[in-house]
Amino acid sequence: MATTKVPSLSPSAAPPVPTTGTSAGSAVVRLCGVTVRYGSTVALRETSEWADRGEWVGVIGPNGAGKTTLLRSVARLTSYQGHIEIDGVSTAGLSRRHLARLVAYVPQQPELPHDMPVADYVLLGRTPHIGYFGADSEADRRRCAELLARLGLEAMADRYLGTLSGGELQRAVLARAVAQDAPVLLLDEPTSALDLGRRVDALELVDELRREWGLTVLSAMHDLTLAAQFADRLILLADGEVAAVGRPSDVLDETLLGHHFGARVRVLRDEGELVVVPRRSRSTPPLGDRGGHDA
Amino acid sequence: MSTTLPQRTRGHPLGAELGPVPMSLPRRVSVRVPVLVATALLLAAVLLGISIGPADVPILTVLGVFVSHLPLLHLHSGASRLDQAIIWQIRLPRVVLAGLVGAMLASGGASYQGVFRNPLADPYLLGVAAGAGLGATIVIVSGPHMTELLPLAAFIGAVGAVTVTYLVGANAGLRASGASIVLAGVAVAALLTAVQTYLQQEHSQDLQQVYAWILGSFNVATWSDVLLILPYVTLSAVVLLAHRRLLDVLRVGEDEAGSLGVHATRVRLTIVAAATLGTAAAVAVSGLIGFVGIIVAHTVRLTAGSSYRVVMPVSMIGGAAFLILADLVARTAQAPGEIPIGVVTAFVGAPFFLFVLCSKRAQQGVR
């Protein structure tokens, strides 16, 4: 088990759970037989998984496999059958506000009001700590300032979201999520809108933050190479069921991926890191060999 | 190897070189200046509204009358008994009523735009206007002995229409979404308007009276009208102001508001109920005054910022000022006749709004 144990520094993180020796004993997030139905379609079937404290669990799988549904059920944004616990407490009995102090969620396409200043947007993350009719306090704004500085957004605090680049927006969204001071961070395809360099930057930042504060990260990821590089463990979903779980080197298997993604892939090793390379489904002859066009 | 391989860079540019945490806090949404400006505008509108009319009362006299009523000062205004009567019995109730209705329509519009995340939403979106129109028409066509029931009928019609809209819309589809409620509102409004038009055609002798009510007016405003709507408007205003921060949270959508710990559907229901109650009360005494709900809130957004912590209070004050001034134009421009106030709000408001819209589009990007 490649679990990374980091001491919890986050003020709102729950006290450490005594480790019983098995990995599952220190689980922060635990799903027991979770099933989600959309009408007659089963999006997630009898899923029982967990994530340890400080662990990064990547959820991979083809489109429609149930990755987003799994994350949404942990954030209780969809109704489900079964049982989900955060730090040993069933989320079903928690108030929305209480749950938002335990779980922060970044959807695949966050709603970004174009005329909202970055600082105001990040302050929205403090909502679970502010009373229903309350206003943000000095402490909330200080936390927000810390995060803006930590995520390199200081200079943009007063800028409108509509004027930010994709990479800056991604950091603003991440800042809002971590402003919740929740020990569990759910990220749905956090890099889908970013270029190659910004993808690595964004994931590197998530990795730093989780190590600093002992966050548990559960993220749906499309890029399998990046998933292998950043996640401690991978859950491969297919058709709403768990097809494989384990360390990236175990899950990223050519036959397994080929079968579930319906594609030909090569898994290469480069300086100890796994690289998943898609291959064309038909082999195409080089241009010059297509015949008939040479004079 | 030919594939492009993203390398993990250990030393992240945002990493260790960051110094100690700076203490320059993000600024608060600045509410004070816009509120002060709007309040100054409102005071000016109130003074002008009281002073100008068929018999002009000088503004200094108006001020003197107000000051003489302040406790502990024992000043004498020197105003004639006639001036006093004009101020207290004719002008002031009309100005106060226009102010309350304007505040309600503007903040109701801002609220609906917030909960449905639709810039075109106005307080009549869910059927308030159609319901009130039908209620009023039923009373008018039932005969002249019923006219004192008109505000009650309009109020019941408005609240009833929105209730039906909400019940139908919120139960449509897999989960209650803003869009299905808005669509239900369109259908309910169409149905009620059809019934109202039918009644109107059946009783064509009352057409003028129905039409006059629909265009709105304050020409019979009394203190009893003010007292009639004051409880509803106050309750509504308090609830809407209390929800101004939550309206900002709703701007990121229902799902994300939910993940931030806000029960979006519950907040939306509360805001819609409060806005409907206030708007229905306003419409019951004023008729259907259009356009206020759209232009005031958007003018505030374009000039003072889009946070509901600004938009809500400033729309309330600015809406009051706007409708007092519109009523002033309505009763003086063609004196002794009156122009329907709905005509004034659109005729004056539309070009002004277009001006604000055009002048602000060019300078977007910085706060």
How many domains are there within chain B? 1
Compute the mean pLDDT over every residue in chain B, rounded to the nearest whole number: 83
Transcribe B92-135 into DSSP letters: HHHHHHHHHHHHHHHHHHHHHHHHTT-TT--TTTTSHHHHHHHH
Quick one: pLDDT band at residue B27, thresholds 50, 70, 90?
A: low
The one-letter amino acid code at B4 reads T
Residue A117 inside a domain? The answer is no
CA proximity to A180, closest of A235, A131, A123:
A123
Residue A117 to residues A106, A157, B23: CA-CA distances in angstroms?
A: 18, 7, 19
A160 falls within a domain: no
Q: Could you tell me the two tokens for B236?
A: 């509504």
Is the Cα torsion angle A18, A21, A27, A30 positive or negative in sign?
negative
A2 domain-assigned: no
Query: Are the Cβ atoms of B23 and A127 closer than 8 angstroms?
Result: no
- The whole-number pLDDT of residue A8 equals 38
The helix/strand/coil state of B258 is helix
Query: Is A229 an 8 Å CB contact of chain B?
Result: yes
Which is nearest to B300 in space by CA: B110, B102, B116?
B110
Nearest-CA distance B120 → chain A (Å):
16
* Pairing mode of beta strands A241-246, A56-60: unpaired
Q: Residues 6 or more apart from A164 whose CB is under 8 A from it?
A: A118, A156, A172
Q: Which residue from A33, A30, A83 is spatially nearest to A218, judged by alpha carbons?
A: A30
Q: Does A200 fall in a domain?
A: yes
Do residues A128 and A97 make contact, with C-beta atoms less than 8 angstroms apart?
yes
Does some domain include residue A162?
no
Task: Tell me the pLDDT band of A272, cut-offs 50, 70 and 90.
Answer: confident
Q: Using the predicted structure, report yes or no on whether residue B93 has a pLDDT greater than 80.
A: yes
CB B269 within 8 A of CB B95: no
pLDDT for position B74: 66
Amino acid of residue B214: I
Q: Which 3 state secondary structure label does DSSP give A188?
A: strand
- Of the listed ranges A102-106, B75-79, B154-158, the least confidently predicted one is B75-79
- Tell me how far the alpha carbon of residue A76 is from its chain's centroid: 15
Provide φ and ψ at B251, rounded to 5°. Answer: -65, -20
| B-chain residues near A154 (CB < 8 A) | 22
Band of the pLDDT at A265, cuts 50, 70, 90?
Answer: confident
- Identify from A56, A111, A277 which residue to disrupt to test chain B contact, counting B C-beta atoms within 10 A and taking the largest count: A111
Which residues, numbered 132 to 191 in chain A, qualify as contacts with chain B under a Cβ-Cβ cut-off of 8 Å? 132-136, 138, 141-142, 144-146, 148-152, 154, 157-160, 162-163, 180
Contact A110 B256 (CB under 8 A): yes
CA distance B304 to chain A (A): 12
Residues of chain A in contact with residue B256, where contact means CB-CB under 8 angstroms, are 105, 107, 110-111
Chain B residues with CB under 8 Å of A149 CB are 18, 21-22
Token pair in block for residue A266:
């090569």
pLDDT digits (tens, 9 = 90+) for B319-345: 999 999 999 999 998 878 888 888 898
Euclidean distance between CA atoms B338 and A247, whole angstroms: 80
- Residue range(s) defining the domain that contains residue B233: 57-65+76-360
Residue A80's domain spans which residues? 26-112+180-284
B18, B249, B366: residue with CB nearest A127: B249
Query: Within an 8 Å CB–CB cutoff, is residue A275 touching chain B?
Result: yes
Q: How confident is the model at residue A7 (pLDDT cuts 50, 70, 90)?
A: very low
Question: What is the model's pLDDT at position B47?
Answer: 93
Does any domain span residue B182? yes
State the DSSP string of B194-222: HHHHHHHHHTGGGHHHHHHHHH---TT--
By the 8 A CB rule, do B311 and B297 touch? yes
Separation in Å, CA A292 to CA A287, A289, A295: 11, 9, 8
User: Is B266 in contact with A138 (CB distance < 8 Å)?
Assistant: no
pLDDT at A285: 67
pLDDT tens digit sequence for A155-179? 999 999 999 998 899 999 999 999 9
d(CA A287, CA B340): 76
Q: Is residue A215 in a domain?
A: yes
What average pLDDT does this structure show over B103-114? 94
B85 compared with B192, residue with greater pLDDT: B192
Contact at CB, B259 and A138, closer than 8 angstroms = no
Alpha-helical regions (H) of B52-91: 59-68, 81-85
Q: Which residues pair with A244 in a beta bridge?
A: A236
How much is the pLDDT for A282?
72
**Assigned domain for B15 exists:** no
Cβ burial, residue B82 (10 Å; 0-12/13-18/19+) = exposed
Q: How far apart are CA B217 and CA B172, in angstroms?
A: 37
Does the structure show a pLDDT above 50 at B19?
no
Is position A97 within any domain?
yes
Could you report the per-residue pLDDT of B256-307, keeping only the tens digit for each? 999 999 998 899 999 999 999 999 999 888 888 888 888 899 889 888 888 9
Predicted confidence at residue A290, as pLDDT, reads: 55
Q: Do A159 and B5 touch (CB under 8 A)?
A: no
Is residue B257 a contact partner of residue B129, using CB atoms and an 8 Å limit?
no
Q: Residue B73: its pLDDT value, please?
A: 65
- CB neighbours (10 Å) of residue B358? 9
Q: Distance (Å, rounded) from C-alpha A194 to C-alpha B9?
A: 17
Contacts of A98 in chain B (CB under 8 A): 261
Q: How many domains does chain A have?
A: 1
Residue B2 has pLDDT above 50, yes or no: no
Put simply, the answer to whether B263 touches A117 (Cβ < 8 Å) is no
Evaluate whether B139 touches B213 at the Cβ level (below 8 Å). no
The closest alpha carbon to B236, from B119, B123, B75, belongs to: B123
Tell me chain B's radius of gyration from C-alpha atoms: 24
- Report pLDDT for A74: 95
Cβ distance B261 to A96 less than 8 Å, yes or no, reads yes
Cβ–Cβ of B8/A200 closer than 8 Å? yes
Is residue B151 a contact partner of residue B284, using CB atoms and an 8 Å limit? yes
| Residues across chain B | 367
Q: Taking each helix axis as running N to C, give the angle between helix B92-115 and helix B308-332, from 0 to 180 degrees, rounded to the nearest 10.
A: 140
Interface A:B, Cβ pairs < 8 A: 149
Query: What is the pTM for the complete model shown?
Result: 0.83
- Which two three-digit tokens encode residue B195? 């019934």
Lowest mean pLDDT among A57-71, A137-151, B19-33: B19-33
Contact B25 A142 (CB under 8 A): yes
How many angstroms separate the Cα of B339 from the Cα of each of A202, B217, B244, B296? 61, 9, 35, 21
B2, B25, B307, best to mutate vs chain A, most A CBs in 10 Å: B25
CA closest to B11 among chain A residues? A204
Output the pLDDT for position B24.
64
User: Is residue B51 in a domain?
Assistant: no
The maximal CA–CA distance of chain B, rounded, in angstroms, is 98
Q: How many CB atoms lie within 10 A of CB B202?
A: 9
- Average pLDDT over every residue of A253-266: 88
Chain A residue with Cα closest to B309: A135
Furthest CA-CA distance within chain A = 80
Tell me which residue in A117, A127, A163 faces B260 most closely, judged by beta carbons. A127
Q: Please, are residues A77 and B255 in contact by the beta-carbon 8 Å criterion?
A: yes
Chain A residues close to B248, C-beta within 8 Å: 116, 120, 124
Task: Supply B211's token pair.
Answer: 């039409």
- How many Cα atoms are found within 13 Å in the side-chain-facing hemisphere of B138? 18
CATH number of the domain enclosing A227: 3.40.50.300
Closest in B23, B256, B307 to A107, CB measured: B256
**Cβ pair B364:A145 closer than 8 A:** no
Q: What is the pLDDT of residue A15?
A: 38
- Per residue, what are the HEC states of B288-308? CCCCHHHHHHHHHHHHHCCCH
CA-nearest residue to A158 within chain B is B367
Q: How far is the alpha carbon of A161 from chain B, nearest alpha carbon, in Å?
A: 9
Mean pLDDT of chain A: 85
Residue B137 lies in a domain: yes
Q: Distance, in angstroms, between B351 CA and closest chain A CA?
A: 23
Is residue A204 less than 8 Å (CB to CB) from chain B?
yes
Would you say residue B31 has pLDDT above 70?
A: yes
CATH number at residue B178: 1.10.3470.10
pLDDT over 60 (residue A293): no
* Residue A206: partners with Cβ closer than 8 Å, 6 or more residues away: A56, A174, A185, A187, A190, A217, A219, A230
The A184-188 sheet, strands edge to edge: A103-106, A184-188, A216-220, A56-60, A233-238, A241-246
Q: Please check whether residue A149 lies inside any domain of the structure.
A: no
Q: Give the residue-averaged pLDDT of B185-196.
A: 92
- A146-150, B50-54, B64-68, B157-161: the lowest-pLDDT one: B64-68
Which contacts (CB < 8 Å, 24+ apart) does range A128-134 have?
A128/A97, A128/A98, A128/A100, A128/A101, A128/A180, A128/A182, A128/B260, A128/B261, A129/A101, A129/A180, A129/A181, A130/B245, A132/B246, A133/B242, A133/B243, A133/B245, A134/B245
Give which of B113, B252, B271, B310 to mutate to test A binding, by max A Cβ within 10 Å. B252
* Closest-CA distance of chain A to residue B252, Å: 5
Q: Is B184 part of a structural domain of the chain?
A: yes
Q: Is B252's CB within 8 Å of A110's CB?
A: yes
ipTM > 0.85 for the complex: no
- What pLDDT was estimated at residue B239? 96
- pLDDT, residue B293, reads 87
pLDDT category, B166, cuts 50, 70, 90? confident
Residue B115 has pLDDT above 80, yes or no: yes
Segment (H or E) for A224: helix A224-230
Name the band, by pLDDT with cuts 50, 70 and 90, for residue A45. very high
Burial class (CB in 10 A: 0-12, 13-18, 19+), B237: buried
